[in-house]
């Protein structure tokens, strides 16, 4: 997804109400034979008996058909519409007025205070408004729980997907999904826009850490996270499960890098074009969706911002995924048999050619069912989408059977989630959020995700009885350690979540610790050195190497963020050089969302090199393997290049000469 609520120019509640009233002035008119109750009764009773769609003993398909038959065009289109919580927070009755089917929290869009109970209260407030509509159809609330429920301050924050891919442990990844689901649903949302099942083929892409790895087989093996999120078929209505989303369909990890656009804000990789032949696209882009749909029964799919160009010279007519009927309707819904719902990405249809009316018509025709249409810095939003689509159906541009198909898929998800019987948040697991048991699983995920790249003379594990000197920018920074999609969309170096930094973990393992971030303090005689270096947080386009600079973000309190490089900063290099020159041994831990280039001159001074990825809240998991409480078992999910100029570099390439190959990982005993 592509969220920037921090830059939202929100209209006042009064203006929104007026806009909604004007756009929805065509009053809800019930189909013949179904009177509209004054004030909205929620459709609970019909001649003294529960209406069929209210009867939980009936098959879902029967309930969907009954409800669909009672709905006006306006109500159907409302179900296809998703607004952002900021659009309706000042006046939740807008949910009723607009007849919304869904809401979401964008990255960093949270209640105040940012607590589990406040989240549950917020979602329930919106739910009450939805139940005031004529038919009482509950809303579906979505959030980006991409490495745990990262928007929630007290949630367990797991390693990002690239770290999970390094574990090669599908059972553990399933457990990560299950805990993420429990913490998400306990706080209100019933739907997560995760997992990303992209196959990242160029590490200059700023979303590389959202990929489980560069090999489609590895990505497919990690799709057990869907089972953890959703439970077994038929278990979605349980309070520990959420609807999952496979994204971004398809090929977001295959976009081409255009060096001529670097630094121009033109997103050199993110939201770019897949310039590959059809066979390569099938193998690298579509392959992970077959098992996601057919084996793991993922409930929703989100198209990509990217485009595909299958012409031989790559100079044809790139087709945006949100307009790609061949892939969404033909391949996903047709060949794969996907019967869930397709949800658009953040304002993504607005990137299609033509005016807004054309954009809506094109995307609905392509097969998108539910539309993420927040206002957020735009003159159009949910009520505009509703009015536009209603008009398109009324003038026969969009056929009613396409609307009915979309709404049936949305209603099916709501029935399967049990929202008609239990629309409000089940708070029985509220106290489990961030529990010691959950964080213990996260710590194990950190342990298993660490990849030991180099270990000269058996440097690791270190002896906890020896003094340790710790330095580096990422040793004591939990914001950097957690990465993007943590509290805010882009994450932030100043973001603080409950947990332990890597330094905290080292101090817990060894009582004789000297810490100096810039390595300015003297190194004690005989001390082992640990230098924790790497990247600062980012998400989406702002993580692209050579891409746009993120000039200001409230998550970092106005601290500018330079364009990304995939190289260590000068300060990190200096810290490594000093510690390696003066300490008895020198271990370098790289905290990053992708491989970081290590200068050959620096590499020669390093005794042990560890890829820690973005471990999340449990920094002790890194210390566990460094000191031998647990063994190193992780293996590279992506190829580690010698230089940025080698990108893209992937296993199987003709001239494959990486610093460390895909699958590399030295082992130690725990």
Q: Which positions are catalytic?
A: 345, 540
Spatial distance between the Cα atoms of 640 and 268, rounded to a whole number of angstroms:
21
Spatial distance between the Cα atoms of 452 and 422, rounded to a whole number of angstroms:
48
The residue behind tokens 């200001």 is: 552
Find out whether 161 and 127 touch, Cβ atoms under 8 Å.
no
Spatial distance between the Cα atoms of 443 and 499, rounded to a whole number of angstroms:
10
The alpha carbon of 416 is separated from its chain's Cα centroid by a whole number of angstroms, namely: 23
Spatial distance between the Cα atoms of 461 and 547, rounded to a whole number of angstroms:
38
Bridge partners for 372 per DSSP = 82
β-pair type (528-534, 468-471): parallel
Spatial distance between the Cα atoms of 79 and 259, rounded to a whole number of angstroms:
42
DSSP structure string for 422-435 = --S--GGGGGGTT-
The residue behind tokens 């459709």 is: 43
Taking the alpha carbons of 562, 567, 572, 574 in that order, is the dihedral positive or negative? negative
Spatial distance between the Cα atoms of 523 and 540, rounded to a whole number of angstroms:
39
Cis, bond preceding 648 (omega within 30 deg of 0): yes
Find out whether 156 and 439 touch, Cβ atoms under 8 Å.
yes
Q: Side-chain half-sphere of 661: how many Cα atoms within 13 Å?
A: 7
Bridge partners for 529 per DSSP = 469, 586
Collapsed DSSP state (helix, strand, coil) of residue 373: coil
b (16+ CB within 10 A) / e for 360-396? bbbbbbbbbbbbbbbbbeeebbbbbbbbbbbebbeee
β-pair type (300-303, 245-249): parallel
State the burial class of residue 278 (Cβ atoms within 10 Å of its Cβ: 0-12, 13-18, 19+). Answer: exposed
Phi/psi-derived region of residue 405, left when phi > 0, alpha when psi is between -120 and 50, beta in every other case: alpha
Please give the structure tokens belonging to residue 252. 């977001």
Helices 170-186 & 436-449 angle (0-180, nearest 10): 140
The residue behind tokens 């209260």 is: 121
Q: What angle do CA 226, 291, 231 make, to 5 degrees?
A: 25
Spatial distance between the Cα atoms of 530 and 469, rounded to a whole number of angstroms:
6
Sequence-distant (≥ 6) Cβ neighbours of residue 256 within 8 angstroms: 269, 272, 273, 274, 275, 314
Spatial distance between the Cα atoms of 127 and 138, rounded to a whole number of angstroms:
6
- Alpha helices in 191-321, H assignment, sequence order: 216-221, 224-230, 278-281, 289-294
The alpha carbon of 504 is separated from its chain's Cα centroid by a whole number of angstroms, namely: 27
β-pair type (585-591, 608-613): parallel
Find out whether 2 and 345 touch, Cβ atoms under 8 Å.
yes
């Amino acid at each position: 997804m592509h969220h920037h609520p921090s830059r939202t120019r929100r209209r006042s509640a009064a203006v929104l109400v007026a806009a909604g009233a004007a756009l929805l002035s065509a009053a809800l008119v019930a189909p013949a034979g179904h009177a509209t109750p004054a004030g909205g009764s929620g459709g609970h009773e019909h001649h003294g008996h529960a209406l069929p769609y209210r009867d939980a003993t009936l098959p879902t398909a029967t309930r969907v058909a009954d409800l669909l038959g009672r709905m006006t065009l306006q109500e159907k289109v409302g179900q296809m519409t998703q607004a952002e919580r900021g659009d309706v927070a000042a006046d939740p009755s807008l949910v009723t007025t607009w007849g919304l089917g869904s809401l979401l929290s964008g990255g960093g869009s949270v209640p105040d205070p940012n607590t589990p109970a406040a989240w549950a209260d917020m979602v329930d407030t919106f739910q009450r408004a939805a139940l005031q509509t004529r038919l009482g159809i509950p809303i579906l609330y979505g959030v980006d729980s991409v490495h745990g429920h990262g928007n929630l301050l007290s949630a367990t924050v797991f390693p990002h997907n690239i770290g999970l891919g390094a574990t090669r442990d599908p059972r553990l990844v399933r457990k990560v999904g299950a805990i993420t689901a429990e913490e998400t649903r306990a706080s209100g949302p019933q739907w997560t826009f995760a997992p990303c099942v992209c196959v990242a083929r160029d590490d200059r892409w700023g979303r590389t850490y959202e990929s489980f790895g560069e090999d489609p087989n590895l990505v497919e093996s990690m799709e057990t996270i869907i089972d953890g999120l959703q439970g077994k078929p038929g278990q979605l209505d349980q309070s520990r499960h959420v609807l999952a989303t496979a994204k971004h369909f398809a090929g977001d990890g295959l976009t081409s890098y255009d060096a001529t656009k670097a630094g121009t804000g033109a997103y050199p990789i993110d939201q770019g074009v897949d310039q590959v032949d059809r066979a390569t696209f099938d193998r690298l882009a579509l392959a992970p969706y077959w098992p996601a749909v057919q084996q793991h029964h993922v409930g929703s799919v989100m198209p990509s911002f990217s485009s595909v160009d299958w012409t031989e010279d790559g100079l044809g007519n790139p087709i945006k995924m949100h307009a790609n009927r061949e892939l969404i309707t033909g391949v996903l819904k047709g060949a794969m048999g996907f019967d869930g719902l397709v949800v658009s990405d953040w304002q993504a249809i607005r990137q299609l050619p033509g005016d807004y009316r054309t954009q809506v018509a094109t995307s609905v025709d392509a097969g998108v069912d539910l539309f993420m249409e927040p206002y957020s810095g735009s003159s159009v939003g949910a009520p505009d989408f509703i009015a536009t689509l209603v008009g398109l159906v009324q003038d026969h541009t969009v056929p009613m059977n396409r609307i009915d198909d979309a709404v049936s898929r949305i209603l099916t998800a709501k029935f399967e989630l049990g929202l008609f019987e239990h629309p409000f948040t089940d708070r029985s697991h509220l106290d489990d959020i961030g529990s010691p048991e959950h964080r213990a699983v996260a710590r194990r995920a950190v342990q298993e995700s660490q990849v030991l790249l180099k270990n000269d003379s058996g440097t690791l594990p270190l002896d906890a009885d020896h003094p340790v000197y710790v330095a580096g920018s990422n040793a004591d920074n939990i914001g950097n350690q957690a990465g993007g999609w943590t509290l805010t969309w882009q994450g932030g170096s100043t973001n603080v979540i409950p947990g332990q930094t890597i330094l905290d973990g080292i101090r817990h393992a060894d009582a004789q610790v000297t810490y100096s971030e810039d390595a300015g303090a003297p190194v004690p005689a005989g001390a082992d050195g640990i230098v924790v270096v790497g990247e600062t947080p980012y998400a989406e386009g702002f993580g692209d190497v050579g891409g746009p600079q993120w000039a200001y973000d409230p998550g970092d309190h106005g601290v500018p963020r330079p364009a990304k490089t995939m190289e260590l900063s000068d300060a990190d290099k200096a810290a490594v050089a000093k510690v390696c020159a003066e300490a008895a041994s020198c271990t370098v831990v790289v905290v990053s969302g992708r491989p970081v280039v290590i200068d050959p001159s620096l590499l020669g001074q390093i005794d042990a090199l560890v890829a820690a990825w973005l471990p999340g809240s449990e920094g002790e998991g890194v210390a566990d393997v460094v000191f031998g409480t647990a063994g190193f078992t992780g293996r590279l999910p992506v190829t580690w290049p010698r230089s940025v100029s080698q990108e893209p570099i992937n296993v199987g390439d003709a001239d494959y000469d990486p610093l460390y190959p895909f699958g590399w990982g030295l082992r130690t005993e725990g």
